[in-house]
Amino acid sequence: MKWNKYTLKTRSEVEDIVISTLADVGVEGVEIEDKVPLTESDKKQMFVDILPDGPADDGIAYLNFYVEEDQDPQPLLDRVKEALEELRIFMDIGECTITESQTEDKDWINNWKQYFHQFYVDDILIIPSWEDVKPEDKDKMIIHIDPGTAFGTGMHETTQLCMRQLKKYVNKDTQILDVGTGSGILSIAALKLGASHAVGTDLDPCAISAVKENLEANDVPVTDMDMILGNIIDDKAIQDEVGYEKYDIVVANILADVLIPLTPVILHQMKKGGLYITSGIIDDKEESVVAAVKAAGLEVLEVTHQGEWVSVTARKIG
């Protein structure tokens, strides 16, 4: 099956209003193409440390919507054009021209899976839910992971750096706090390494279901991990729910610019002698994170590297 693709040219300043108008007349989903730069809030919720510079914002947005090839698009297009003309009375919505093209039928939700295949972190096998374990790998530690469309796969250097540190320090008594849990891969690794319990926090509601599904895929009892939705840095209620001075290890694989304000806060969740394992740090931010760790009164134990990425492991000494 093919799809008819309709591209509406409008102004980026009013794209939200135009999208809402499209929804009101029956357009079920819109794909946005614009050059509007990310906000600081957007950047803080992304699991990358340096974002590439994009082109300058030219004020134009292209809104794509799709209609099945065997469906008559005209009634929908008539409603769209009528609604846009009404909207034009109240504001400048730009050209609002609509061009048509065709696109092949693709499974947009699952197409990305072709790029994620099983791989090793030292002797730990990370394998997606849609691949089978080879006979020669059945005796290895295996983590089944389905990141979904919202989270990373574990292939990134920062995740691997954290996982190697967990291998060094987790034992059967470990209580672990995983800040910025995502798919839950680090918590699941810790639990498989013998940790007694994990608590995860994340800003994205999708993390709740992702973690539950990945725990089940790894035959880890869901009671072994609790998920908390919210920002532990500035939300006292979240801090209280997570608890104080109760974690042997805190792992945080997030942005350096988030780690810096997180560190003096998370100190209070750690037991005396507890470990703080961090990554998500590009190499030119290493000094800033190490300085923040020391300023919080933590003792730096190790700084490890993989490619251009850095992990800092520290201990609470007081």
Domains and CATH numbers, the chain: 2-104 (3.30.70.120), 151-316 (3.40.50.150)
Give the tokens for residue 7.
């591209």
Higher pLDDT, 41 or 69: 69
Q: How far apart are CA 109 and CA 112, in angstroms?
A: 7
Tabulate helix, strand, coil % of the chain (nearest 5): 35, 30, 35
Q: Is the pLDDT of residue 114 over 70?
A: no
- Indicate the DSSP class of residue 184: -
Note whether 105 and 11 are within 8 A (CB).
no
**Token pair for 71:** 């469906």
* pLDDT in the model for residue 289: 96
Amino acid 244: pLDDT: 98
Q: How far apart are CA 172 and CA 174, in angstroms?
A: 6
Binding-site positions for S-adenosyl-L-methionine read: 159, 180, 202, 253
Model confidence pTM above 0.85 = no
| Residue pair 48/255 in contact by the 8 Å Cβ criterion | yes
Distance CA 195, CA 267 (A): 20
- What token pair was written down for 124? 């730990």
In what side-by-side order are the strands of the sheet with 119-121? 119-121, 124-128, 141-145
What distance in Å separates the CA atoms of residue 259 and residue 76, rounded to the nearest whole number? Answer: 48
Give pLDDT tens digits for 38-66: 555 555 544 444 444 556 678 899 999 98
- Mean pLDDT (the chain) is 87
CB atoms within 10 A of CB 24: 11
Nearest to 151 by CA among 199, 190, 112, 118: 112
Binding residues, by number, are 159, 180, 202, 253
